[in-house]
Structure 1
Amino acid sequence: MAKGDSTKHKIEEAYTSLTKSEQGVADYFLENTAISDFSSKHISTLLYVSEATLSRFAKKCGFKGYREFVYMYELDFKDYFTEKEEKEISDITRSVRKNYKDIMVKAFDLIDEDQMRRIASRLSNTEYTVPVYGMGSSGYVAREFQLRFMRLGLDVIAITDSQMIAMNASLVKRGSLVLAFSISGTTKVVIDSIKKAKQNGARVVLFTSSKDKKLKEICDEVVEVAYLSELETGTKISPQISLLILLDVLYTYYFANDSYFKAEKYKRTLSALEIKI
């Protein structure tokens, strides 16, 4: 007997001993494929039988009463779907799913709404090109940032080469805005470059999981990024996922700031991409 079929099996075994009205009840429960309202009041009305008939039906199937029958019948459904899930989802897939769930919960718990508003406002009001620094997996996020925000009209450039990051930091103008991504907070070229950019009078925003207090001394904003052990090595899930979550939140805040103007910019950039040469 398959897991999840025990109650229906008992109904089938008792079927020939049931009266016509009881067999009508049996047919309903044998053909049913989902949990619903199985209360005696609801089923008696639905099947045009008395609640006493339901009680006799349950006892003939081997249960103390209708209430116990319903309990076991629903439990069989739960067992069936649990078994089905276990068969269809391997331990490996379940582990990946858990890691994604954990990182998403942590990411949204860490989000500082006021901080997102401040950064979005600075992006909207900057007069200069916004350089976005990132190396390795953080570099992928920097390029995604450029692609997403450029479509809304922001003058932004992703810089993912170590020498280019260093040179850009030495040339940024006073009052400009610099964004940097470093999950570990220890990428030397990125940290050295935001120090240099800060010395040149730029406003610096760093996205990192590091809790090093020294980073706050060289940045105007430090956005805390969710982190799982071994995340930056990519041995669990894509290490940039926590940064991408923050990117999406920031993007939404940025778009909400003068959404009509940004929507028009978005339409124009999409039109440009559709031009055939």
Structure 2
Amino acid sequence: MEHFEKSIIPVIESVYPSFTPLERTVADFFIHNTDESDLSARHVSELLYVSEASLSRFAKKCGYTGYREFVYRYQEGLNAALPGTDDHIKQVLNTYQELLNKSYSLADRAQIDRICHILASKRRVYVYGLGSSGLSAQEMKLRFMLAGVDIEAITDIHIMKMNAVLLDESCAAIGITVSGRTPEVLRALGAAKEKGASTILFTSRSSSDYDAFCDEVLLLAVKEHLKNGGAISPQFPILVMIDVLYSHFLTTDSERKEALYEYAVTKLHET
């Protein structure tokens, strides 16, 4: 994706649940329109079999003074580039798109199958991470716990060291470090491997050094200075891969996992 343009389509979509059936007909036209260039009130009303007054009410519900302003903003979003003062918005969003494209290129279906098998077959899973990687570890815990995985996130250096006493062949240990150089996380994985646990590393760095203590190395998309937390959160590529794993994990034994998820959500909403 080379650039982004301002669009009022997200505005339409945000109001969509409050539309009447007739207004949804109008909304669907503007959301999906790719061919119609004549957007005059008269032409659109004839095309959709609605009155011009209905178009005006629709535009006002979207937050505009009337249909004329709505169409002006709609066409502006389709045809005009973002002003120069908003270039940073494009840069950030293009970086996200770049990271998504890279994540797609790095994703290995066979590896994802193997990792999901480990997550499904082990008695307990521990996820190690510090800083922003620790926040991602906690997010992974919350996601996979809902699907029935006995999983714990460990984000304290001392607990990482002590955790080795709990590990054996029935466990899995996951280390998250975008740089691939966080010594505490790497040492924790090494200790887990010594105890016979299955070990998985999430990192942007590919190195044969990991072969000695990692069963799987899941590569993360990266951009220069990303690990330093500049404009883009270093969590983003981690969370993308966690979502990919989670989505695939749910496809196996889906009925049981959906039941567990529904049970957990019900419990969360109990008063």
Q: Does the TM-score normalized on the shorter chain lie above 0.5?
A: yes
Cα distance in 2 for partners of 1:257, 1:264 equals 13
> Is 1:269 the equivalent of 2:269?
no
AA matched with 2:114 = R
Taking a change above 3 Å as real, the CA distance of residues 196 and 91 of structure 1, as seen in their structure-2 partners, is: same
> Is 1:86 the equivalent of 2:82?
yes
Q: 2:59 matched to which residue of 1?
A: none
> Is 1:109 the equivalent of 2:105?
yes
The TM-score normalised by the length of structure 1 is 0.69
Deviation at 1:236, TM superposition (A): 2.6
Q: 1:99 matched to which residue of 2?
A: 95
Cα distance in 2 for partners of 1:91, 1:267 equals 43
In the alignment, which of 111, 116, 122 is matched to residue 118 of structure 2? 122
Instruction: Please say if residues 131 and 179 of structure 1, whose CA atoms lie closer than 8 Å, have aligned partners that are also in contact.
Output: yes
Q: 1:138 matched to which residue of 2?
A: 133
Q: 2:255 matched to which residue of 1?
A: 260
Q: 1:242 matched to which residue of 2?
A: 237
AA matched with 1:221 = E
Cα distance in 2 for partners of 1:152, 1:89 equals 45
Deviation at 1:274, TM superposition (A): 1.3
> Is 1:193 the equivalent of 2:201?
no
Taking a change above 3 Å as real, the CA distance of residues 217 and 90 of structure 1, as seen in their structure-2 partners, is: same
Q: 1:225 matched to which residue of 2?
A: 220
Deviation at 1:168, TM superposition (A): 0.7
Gaps of 5+ in 1: 1-33, 39-78
Cα distance in 2 for partners of 1:236, 1:260 equals 40
Deviation at 1:211, TM superposition (A): 1.5
Q: 2:62 matched to which residue of 1?
A: none
Deviation at 1:174, TM superposition (A): 2.4
Task: List per-residue Cα deviations over 1:11-42 (Å, max 9, x = no partner).
Answer: xxxxxxxxxxxxxxxxxxxxxxx96489xxxx
Instruction: Please say if residues 124 and 257 of structure 1, whose CA atoms lie closer than 8 Å, have aligned partners that are also in contact.
Output: no
Taking a change above 3 Å as real, the CA distance of residues 35 and 89 of structure 1, as seen in their structure-2 partners, is: farther
Task: List per-residue Cα deviations over 1:34-77 (Å, max 9, x = no partner).
Answer: 96489xxxxxxxxxxxxxxxxxxxxxxxxxxxxxxxxxxxxxxx
Count of residues in Structure 1 that have an aligned counterpart in Structure 2: 203
What SS is found at the alignment partner of 2:199?
A: strand
Q: 2:52 matched to which residue of 1?
A: none
Q: 2:164 matched to which residue of 1?
A: 169
Gaps of 5+ in 2: 1-33, 39-74
AA matched with 1:99 = T
Q: Which of these two proteins has the greater Rg computed from alpha carbons?
A: 1
Q: 1:216 matched to which residue of 2?
A: 211
Instruction: Please say if residues 124 and 170 of structure 2, whose CA atoms lie closer than 8 Å, have aligned partners that are also in contact.
Output: no
The TM-score normalised by the length of structure 2 is 0.70
Deviation at 1:89, TM superposition (A): 7.1
Cα distance in 1 for partners of 2:266, 2:77 equals 48
Instruction: Please say if residues 201 and 216 of structure 2, whose CA atoms lie closer than 8 Å, have aligned partners that are also in contact.
Output: yes
Cα distance in 2 for partners of 1:254, 1:80 equals 42
AA matched with 1:139 = G
In the alignment, which of 140, 155, 164 is matched to residue 150 of structure 2? 155
Q: 1:183 matched to which residue of 2?
A: 178
Taking a change above 3 Å as real, the CA distance of residues 164 and 219 of structure 1, as seen in their structure-2 partners, is: same
Taking a change above 3 Å as real, the CA distance of residues 81 and 175 of structure 1, as seen in their structure-2 partners, is: closer
Taking a change above 3 Å as real, the CA distance of residues 249 and 163 of structure 1, as seen in their structure-2 partners, is: same
What SS is found at the alignment partner of 1:86?
A: coil
